[in-house]
Amino acid sequence: MELSCKSEYALLALLELTAHYDEGEPLQIRQIAAQQNIPDRYLEQLLATLRRAGLVRSQRGAKGGYLLGREPWKITLLEVINCIEGLDSQPSEVMREPKSVEGMVVREIWQEAGRAADAVLQKYTLKDLAEKRDARRQLDIMYYI
């Protein structure tokens, strides 16, 4: 399980949108990028991908920005990484055909392992992640005292 920079940035950005979900006002790319230490021009591309998948909504023009496309407890981590990592990694898997029986069997095991990992990512939502973060923050304060 490799966590690509892309996926991490996307999750951090969505987590930031989750934190401000109740306010109902859009968050700007600049603010998200500054808060999470993400290159803003790069984040722009990721948000565009997330928008096409409906995970975020955008509001154009001055005072514009981004909002979550759905409630935070209805967006799973699996959706996010499938959206971000999905399109370009699938053709590379398809193009190299297993060509031998051994290859087929190996692939099947790999798919089983992948499904096991996906199951974990599917049971967590953005809300879960935000709650975990809050709990972690409380812990940090206690240790500080």
Partner DNA sequence: AGTATACCCCGGTTCTCCACTGGGGTTTTG
Partner DNA sequence: CAAAACCCCAGTGGAGAACCGGGGTATACT
Binding residues vs its own copies (CB under 8 A): 1-3, 8, 11-12, 15-16, 36-37, 77, 89, 99-114, 116-121, 124, 129, 132-133, 136-137, 140
The first and second tokens of residue 145, run together, are 């005292």
- Binding residues for DNA, how many (CB under 7 A)? 28
Choices 38-46, 71-79, 105-113, 130-138 (CB under 7 A): range interacting with DNA: 38-46
Q: Which of 34, 59, 74, 108 binds DNA (CB under 7 A)?
A: 59
Between 45 and 89, whose beta carbon lies closer to its own copies?
89
* Backbone dihedral angles phi then psi of residue 99, each to the nearest 5 degrees: 60, -20
Between 41 and 99, whose beta carbon lies closer to its own copies?
99
Q: Which 61-120 positions form the footprint of DNA (CB under 7 A)?
A: 61-66, 88-89, 92
Between 71 and 93, whose beta carbon lies closer to its own copies?
93
Of 121, 26, 129, nearest to 69 (Cα)?
26
Give the integer Cα–Cα distance in Å for 40 and 30.
6
Q: Are the beta carbons of 126 and 15 closer than 8 angstroms?
A: yes
Q: What is the DSSP string of 91-139?
A: HHHHHS---SHHHHHHHHHHHHHHHHHHHHHHS-BHHHHHHHHHHHHHH
Q: Which of 25, 34, 39, 86 binds DNA (CB under 7 A)?
A: 39
Give the integer Cα–Cα distance in Å for 106 and 19.
42
Point out which residues bind DNA (CB under 7 A). 4-6, 9, 28-30, 38-39, 41-42, 44-45, 47-48, 51, 58-66, 88-89, 92
